[in-house]
A and B are shown apart, each in its own frame.
Chain A
Amino acid sequence: MNRVAITGAGTINALAHDVPGTLAAFREGRCGITELDIRDKDRLAIQIGGQVHHWNPEAHFNRQQIALYDKFTQFTLLAARQAVDQAGLNFDGHLGYDSGVVLGTAGGGVNTWDDNYRAVYEEGKNRVHPFVVPKLMNNAAASHVSMEFNLRGPSYTVATACASSNHAMGMAFHMVRSGMCRAILTGGSESMLCFGGIKAWEGLRVMSKDACRPFSLNRNGMVQGEGAGVFVFEDYEHARKRGAEILAEVVGFAMTSDASDIVMPSKQGAARAIAGALRDAHLNPEDVGYINAHGTGTAVNDKTECAAVADVFGHHADRLMISSTKSMHGHLIGGTGAVELLACIMALRDGVIAPTIGYEEPDPECALDVVPNAAREARVDVALSNAFAFGGLNAVIALRRV
């Protein structure tokens, strides 16, 4: 089995349009959740989101590309360019045949669906733009990444709601570890902050109207975000031989299914995924210093997740740190695990733990060290990233410091 290195990272999210800006925001504990700026906001009960502001696609893409790229694809391509730049890889030769793309998204081109339903239903138009289907399809982002970088190996998109990115990165890990591929561009993106995308979430009545406060007793729900995170997962020896800078090593991954309820999470399902990732990585619970929590800020997720962590780690649960950066960038749904992996890399490389901001009151059912409100310096050797999706699909990834 081959070892797997992360040699490049890119992102755009509510905190910044790149990795350094995002990590700076994590260190400062800055909140990127703002008043929404979208069409028909007055008809929404939810007025806030982790929205990407100052987004100017014309600065990155030409007119023909913009006609073909939904916002989730635009975000993905921007993040992928950053990741490939950092990795310093060129896929034009043989490497391109040994490399692919595995990305997560829950909704794909939601803005494209929204705009075109509006055109045909609300405005009564009987004709839509010829590119509606290639724009909205869930695999559009993965396909455009493959085209932009000449990646000719396996490419596909994973849709497992809020665990999409973690499932995608887990698959990329398996594909590089097994020797199927030399490098995979992986991560995910989401762009659901439009009238229909928010209205659908309002229906479930799990959204906060004021802030995302994971683990805080007075938390009152999740806040949606948008953006992308893309990484280069590369064969470790390949990276080492070419002298690439290795950001972290991917050492384990596990996925489980609750097989119980379409929206309510299960402690056992989450715990089995966490324990499975440790087993896959040949790690002991005591090796883990930091967990980037799923931490949505809903009553149910946070207490279930804390109970699962307590079960798996026993006494060590009180010594490790667990934080939810969703408090800063919101819940990017299918893209969330990708942006959150950046907090794990920051913990391992820089020894800085991103905080859980908006934390106001301890909850006895979430009695772990949630790194409240301010970032903390600490040496961490192993970090986990949790993702637990609606539908009871859980995916946990383990990274180690290099």
Chain B
Amino acid sequence: MADSVKDRVIAIIAEQAVLDVDDVSPDSTLDSLGIDSLGLVESIFAIEEAFDISVPFNANDPGQSEFDISTVASIVAAVEKLIAEQRA
């Protein structure tokens, strides 16, 4: 299940970055993948739709949101946490 969340998040981010999933690694940052603020908002929307969760994220201050977007791995971890909380 953990792998599947990770794979699906990476697939969403890869699609947004127009990259192959193999080019997206857990320690990649969105910046390094070329995802801008609009791309980020779109990725979060895709994540919410894919996992049927609600992601607390305010584009005004991405760094301050509870949702940690610093790397792909941190996003995966945050999504896993939200799934656990919101499906409980």
Residues of chain A having any CB pair with chain B under 8 Å = 203-206, 208, 219-221, 262-264, 298-300
Contacts and interface: CB of A to CB of B under 8 A. Distances in A.
A220 B37 contact: no
Q: Is the interface of A mostly helix, strand, loop or mixed?
A: loop
- Most chain A beta-carbon neighbours within 10 Å: one of B38, B45, B59: B59
A205 B61 CA distance: 10
B60 A298 contact: yes
B41 interface: yes
B37 A219 contact: no
A263 B36 CA distance: 12
Interface of B: 37-38, 41, 44-45, 57-61
Contacts of B44: 205
Contacts of B37: 264, 300
Nearest to A221: B60
Nearest to A262: B38
A220 B60 CA distance: 6
9 contacts: A206-B58, A206-B59, A220-B58, A221-B58, A221-B59, A221-B60, A264-B38, A298-B60, A300-B37
Contacts of B38: 262-264
A206 B44 CA distance: 13
Contact of B57 (A205, A208, A299): A205
A208 B58 CA distance: 8
Given A205-B41, A205-B44, A219 B60 contact: yes
- Most chain A beta-carbon neighbours within 10 Å: one of B37, B60, B61: B60
Contacts, number: 31
A315 to B, nearest CB: 30
Contact of B61 (A204, A263, A299): A299
A262 B45 CA distance: 18
A297 to B, nearest CB: 8
A264 B59 CA distance: 12
Nearest to A217: B61
A263 B44 CA distance: 17
Nearest to B37: A264
A261 to B, nearest CB: 8
Contacts of B58: 205-206, 208, 220-221
B43 to A, nearest CB: 11
Contacts of A299: 59-61
B41 A220 contact: no
A204 B41 contact: yes
B61 A203 contact: no
A203 B41 CA distance: 8
State the 7 A-B residue pairs at the shortest beta-carbon distance, nearest first.
Answer: A299-B60, A205-B59, A221-B60, A220-B60, A206-B59, A205-B41, A298-B60
Contacts of A221: 58-60
A27 B37 CA distance: 37
A339 B57 CA distance: 31
A220 B45 contact: no
A203 B45 contact: yes
A217 to B, nearest CB: 10
Contacts of A204: 41, 59
Contacts of A262: 38
A205 B60 CA distance: 8
A299 B60 CA distance: 5
Nearest to B65: A205
A204 B37 CA distance: 10
A191 to B, nearest CB: 25
Contacts of B57: 205
B23 to A, nearest CB: 25
Nearest to A206: B59
Given A205-B57, A208-B58, A264-B38, 13 more contacts: A203-B41, A204-B41, A205-B41, A205-B58, A206-B59, A208-B60, A219-B60, A221-B58, A221-B60, A263-B38, A264-B37, A298-B60, A299-B60
Nearest to B40: A205
A313 B19 CA distance: 44
Given A263-B38, A264-B37, A206 B60 contact: yes
Nearest to B59: A205
Contacts of A300: 37, 60
Contacts of A219: 60
Nearest to B36: A264
A38 to B, nearest CB: 21
A204 B40 CA distance: 10
Nearest to A301: B60
B82 to A, nearest CB: 15
A204 B41 CA distance: 7
